[in-house]
Amino acid sequence: MANLDMPVSKLDGIGKVKAAAFEKLGICTLRDLIYHFPTRYENRGVVSRLAEGRVGMTQSYILTVSTEPKMARLRGSLTIVKFRAFDESGSVEITYFNQPYMRDKFHVGETYRFYGKLNEKLGKYSMSSPVAEMFREGQPLPDLYAVYRLAQPLNKKVIRECVSQALVLCNGELFDTVPGDIRAKYSLASLSYALENIHIPEDLASLDRAARRLAFDELLETALAVRLMRNKQTQSYAARMMNTDISPFLDTVPFELTNAQKRAVDDIIADLSAGKGYDAPRMSRILVGDVGCGKTVCAAAAVFMTVNNGYQALIMAPTEILASQHVNDLAPQFAAIGYKVEKLTGSTTAAEKRRIKAGLADGSIDIVIGTHALIEDDVVFRSLGLAVCDEQHRFGIAQRAKLLEKSPRAHMLVMSATPIPRTLSLVLYGDLSISRIDEMPKGRQKVDTFFVNENYRTRLNGFIDKQLAEGGQVYVVCPAVEQVEDDADDGAPTVSVFDTGAQPPLKSAVEFAAELGDRFPNANVAYIHGKMRPAEKNDIMSRFVSGEIKLLVSTTVIEVGINVPNASLMIVENAERFGLSQLHQLRGRVGRGSRKSYCILVSDTDGEIATRRLKLMTKTNDGFVIAEEDLKMRGPGDFLGTDGARQSGVGGNYRMAALCQDASIPEAAGEAASLILEIDPALASPEFAALRMRLSRAMNASETTMN
């Protein structure tokens, strides 16, 4: 294992500066590097003629140089190299900025494959700094080039070269974690083949096989972890809640629960009161349902039952603003029946933290709501009986285990606003019993959804004017944070690892917010994205909630967030870049008040599958229907996320499973996990040694990521 654990600084061309940049990406060893998977691929093999090129799109063209390159000096030391190239359908001016050596690279009569963005002005084509590869008949160029998440001064070329070195050095040490008979049963490639072809794919078929195997590995880890946790939980006991009367709490609820909510509450009561004497089998249950279906009131009923039996309860949310929303919603209800709710987050003052921690330790505080601050080592409970984990997709299996370590006799209830197909839920939540809330409360209005292209922009702006004039508020969601250079990963959600064709240009939150600010000067336009500091995000969201900000431009950071009843319009730019379940989550941000609400999906895609997916969104508001259809059409990726924002895997994020199109992979991984544990419940045999080491490493990485 010497080479796998070798520092990346030992690779050719990697000094202290680049090693530090790798460390920012979480890459310290060659093992880290070969598991730093591409986020997408450039498909340079799809070649267009200039006359058929789409302006603004990044594509490949086979062009012959027709004029000698000329270099000019601009102000200071800036340079520009220009020349013309052509194919049988037209010609284009090619420009390179601050790359003077390009003047000597190109010569009249030479043919290159140019990969870049085609621009057009006054009927004339141009390309700025395209990738250029010498083209010779009979010597085919690779079609697919990996694109990675970057950190300055690393670029795509440096990472590709380092990955190639690492694969050669580690080739003899890539012991397969999946036994041969299981690989054969599910038609899986070997691990060495998968790692080689995920970074340097021979073709689309090889990439498909590689991605399928690596997605299987990630989901197998989760399936094994949840089954091992389930086995452990069945042998553990928590506090039994003998008093099952929750009517005092229900009397504070200003509406009648739906039948689905009543079923979920009944499930919880049965779990908490099961067993004999003071012991109950530990409840490990998840409430799954659409945004706005009423999961929180079910969780609050569980909290009441817990504190009414003399135990403490906590609710942990992924963000401070969501924790504050829970406090604002639940504190008055519990105050009416004699229980006080406290809040503990990272921004709680030191004095308040000391007071709250002391109250939790001596039992004088019954209910606490907060963020990860609740699972810090110095937070001790006198008698924790229930831990509620909100927005489950932000936390992984190790985080659930860490939460339960705070009190071995506490029950666990988690909530997820992402409807998950049944086959996938068995993998992700195999350690949890599932209550599906598949019914919306009375009065919850349907959000009308429309799919339009850029030709509707003028009408769309008029519709924004109308919503603002009527007192409504507007969300605009963009896939990218800001415009990026061609050599950088744009950070936008990639619909699939196989989306290698041309895609419409990206709208970025920062630039589009400025554009909309000019167009709607009275809307107090602001933007928010995940790279901002928490305090800054909280401030902007608070101003949006208060109505000070009328139009909020955002990335998917608001996919799961606070309740803004006044928001009546959700616009999603580049909607083809998002999964259906993610679009459904975004749509759930509006229609939460009395205003008639709308969701507009904007996309210039001409892809058949993308068009069919977006049209489905206009036909149904049922998240479970959308989830099942999305799984059939595009596999499990949309439910897992490309950036860890939606589901957290055992080892951190689902990197390849989040890009997987194969709908059979989750079921196969679940079956394989059951088969393996049936053969060897402790993974103790030599046959499973490599798998046991990988699972242990992944669980440790997950805990490290959390902390």
> In the predicted model, what is the mean pLDDT of residues 450-457?
94
Query: What is the total count of domains within the chain?
Result: 4
Q: Check residue 685 and give its pLDDT.
A: 87
- Distance, in Å, from the CA atom of 116 to the CA atom of 498, rounded to the nearest integer, reads 19
The one-character DSSP state at 42 is: E
In this structure, are residues 452 and 602 in contact, taking their beta carbons and an 8 Å threshold? yes
Q: Is residue 22 part of a domain?
A: yes
- Distance, in Å, from the CA atom of 9 to the CA atom of 521, rounded to the nearest integer, reads 51
Of 21-30, 41-50, 391-400, 698-707, the least confident: 698-707
Let me know whether 366 and 471 are in one domain.
no
Quickly state the pLDDT bin for 473 (edges 50, 70, 90).
Answer: very high
> In the predicted model, what is the mean pLDDT of residues 224-229?
79
User: Residue 142's closest CA among 428, 500, 400?
Assistant: 500
Q: Is the previous residue joined to 153 through a cis bond, with omega within 30 degrees of 0?
A: yes
Is pLDDT of 530 > 80? no
Domain boundary residue, one of 620, 645, 662: 620
Percent of the chain whose pLDDT exceeds 90: 43
> In the predicted model, what is the mean pLDDT of residues 536-561?
83
Q: Check residue 535 and give its pLDDT.
A: 79
- Distance, in Å, from the CA atom of 610 to the CA atom of 314, rounded to the nearest integer, reads 42
Q: Is residue 205 part of a domain?
A: no
Strand order in the sheet with 384-389: 341-344, 367-370, 312-316, 384-389, 411-416, 284-289, 433-437
Let me know whether 53 and 33 are in one domain.
no
Domain boundary residue, one of 382, 415, 437: 437
Q: What are phi and psi of 269, to 5 degrees?
A: -60, -45
- Distance, in Å, from the CA atom of 680 to the CA atom of 363, rounded to the nearest integer, reads 43
Give the domain range for residue 87.
45-141
> In the predicted model, what is the mean pLDDT of residues 285-292?
83
Let me know whether 28 and 53 are in one domain.
no
Q: Is residue 696 part of a domain?
A: no
Let me know whether 270 and 361 are in one domain.
yes
What type of residue sits at position 634?
R
Is pLDDT of 477 > 90? yes
- pLDDT per residue as tens digits for the range 240-281: 999 999 999 999 998 899 999 999 999 999 999 998 888 888
38: three-class secondary structure by DSSP: coil
Beta bridge partners of 83: 94
Query: Comparing 288 with 236, which gets the higher pLDDT?
Result: 288
Which residue is listed with tokens 């049922």? Answer: 622
Domain boundary residue, one of 579, 600, 620: 620
Q: Check residue 243 and give its pLDDT.
A: 95
User: Residue 315's closest CA among 216, 392, 236, 245?
Assistant: 392
Let me know whether 30 and 92 are in one domain.
no
Q: Check residue 584 and give its pLDDT.
A: 87
Q: Is residue 6 part of a domain?
A: yes
Let me know whether 397 and 532 are in one domain.
no
Is pLDDT of 492 > 70? no
Q: Check residue 519 and give its pLDDT.
A: 94
Q: What are phi and psi of 653, to 5 degrees?
A: -110, 155
Q: Check residue 482 and give its pLDDT.
A: 60
- Distance, in Å, from the CA atom of 589 to the CA atom of 585, rounded to the nearest integer, reads 7
Beta strands 40-43 and 58-65: pairing type?
unpaired
Q: Is residue 210 part of a domain?
A: no
Q: What are phi and psi of 684, to 5 degrees?
A: -95, -15
- Distance, in Å, from the CA atom of 491 to the CA atom of 501, rounded to the nearest integer, reads 17
Residue length of the chain:
707
Let me know whether 156 and 118 are in one domain.
no
Q: Check residue 653 and give its pLDDT.
A: 60
**Two tokens at 688?**
């499973």
**Two tokens at 8?**
């990346």
> In the predicted model, what is the mean pLDDT of residues 620-631?
78
User: Residue 402's closest CA among 162, 706, 186?
Assistant: 706
Q: Check residue 485 and give its pLDDT.
A: 45
User: Residue 418's closest CA among 592, 658, 583?
Assistant: 583
**Two tokens at 684?**
């103790």
Q: Check residue 407 and give its pLDDT.
A: 77
Let me know whether 290 and 430 are in one domain.
yes
User: Residue 381's closest CA among 411, 404, 361, 400?
Assistant: 361
Quickly state the pLDDT bin for 583 (edges 50, 70, 90).
Answer: confident
Let me know whether 23 and 61 are in one domain.
no
Let me know whether 465 and 321 are in one domain.
no
- pLDDT per residue as tens digits for the range 43-101: 898 899 999 888 888 889 999 999 999 999 887 788 999 999 999 999 999 999 999 99
Q: Check residue 659 and give its pLDDT.
A: 66
Of 112-126, 175-189, 427-441, 643-657, the least confident: 643-657
- pLDDT per residue as tens digits for the range 121-147: 888 999 999 999 999 988 989 999 888
Q: Is residue 615 part of a domain?
A: yes
Q: Is residue 303 part of a domain?
A: yes
CATH number of the CATH domain containing 3 = 1.10.150
Quickly state the pLDDT bin for 486 (edges 50, 70, 90).
Answer: very low
Percent of the chain whose pLDDT exceeds 70: 86
pTM: 0.67
- pLDDT per residue as tens digits for the range 641-699: 543 334 445 544 667 776 666 778 888 888 898 899 888 888 888 888 888 888 877 76
Let me know whether 268 and 385 are in one domain.
yes
Of 217-231, 313-327, 513-527, the least confident: 217-231
Let me know whether 433 and 373 are in one domain.
yes
- pLDDT per residue as tens digits for the range 437-447: 888 877 677 89
CATH number of the CATH domain containing 390 = 3.40.50.300
Q: Is residue 362 part of a domain?
A: yes
Query: Comparing 340 with 96, which gets the higher pLDDT?
Result: 96
Q: Check residue 495 and give its pLDDT.
A: 33
Helices and strands: H and E segment counts in the chain: 22, 26
Is pLDDT of 349 > 70? yes
**Two tokens at 547?**
């109505």
